[in-house]
């Protein structure tokens, strides 16, 4: 019969504890050796803002990083929608201004010009022409004379 090797569980635990202790002490030294970020140095060391504010800022920073990490897809969709709206806003605004101009010009033509013999489509055409710099509206006035 062959002898089975036996290990002492206390020795294994002691080795694991010492390995963890070494890792934590190395990590602690690395963290301790890091310099403060420039904004912490400026705001809280040089200017002297309260430490409670620093704690709140760091908590908010941690929460925002977690939120970005967890909600990455939602943030990308939101930014895409905002970018799309910002891209099309000038086009929509131009179309609205054009329609407003046409409506005002049409009302002006109906109220102030002699429109006998001119149908609605022609009035719309003349108002559109006027909004883009045309001068056909002035020819209607000549019909009075």
pLDDT digits (tens, 9 = 90+) for 51-72: 899 899 999 999 999 999 999 9
pTM above the 0.85 mark?
A: no
Q: Find, among 72, 87, 141, the residue nearest to 109 by Cα.
A: 141
Extract the tokens encoding 43: 């705001």
C-beta of residue 105 within 8 angstroms of C-beta of residue 127:
yes
User: CA-CA distances (angstroms) from residue 35 to 11, 32, 52?
Assistant: 39, 8, 20
Mean pLDDT calculated for residue range 78-91: 96
Q: Check pLDDT > 90 for residue 38.
A: no
């Amino acid at each position: 019969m062959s002898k089975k090797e036996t290990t002492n569980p206390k020795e294994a635990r002691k080795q694991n504890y010492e390995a963890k202790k070494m890792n934590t002490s190395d990590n602690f030294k690395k963290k301790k050796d890091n310099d403060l970020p420039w904004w912490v140095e400026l705001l809280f060391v040089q200017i002297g803002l309260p430490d409670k504010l620093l704690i709140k800022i760091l908590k908010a920073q941690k929460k925002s990083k977690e939120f970005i990490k967890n909600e990455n897809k939602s943030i990308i969709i939101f930014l895409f929608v905002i970018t799309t709206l910002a891209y099309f806003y000038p086009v929509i605004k131009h179309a609205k201004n054009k329609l407003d101009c046409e409506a005002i010009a049409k009302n002006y033509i109906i109220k102030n010009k002699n429109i006998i013999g001119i149908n609605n489509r022609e009035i719309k055409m003349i108002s559109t022409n006027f909004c883009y710099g045309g001068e056909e509206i002035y020819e209607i006035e000549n019909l009075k004379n």
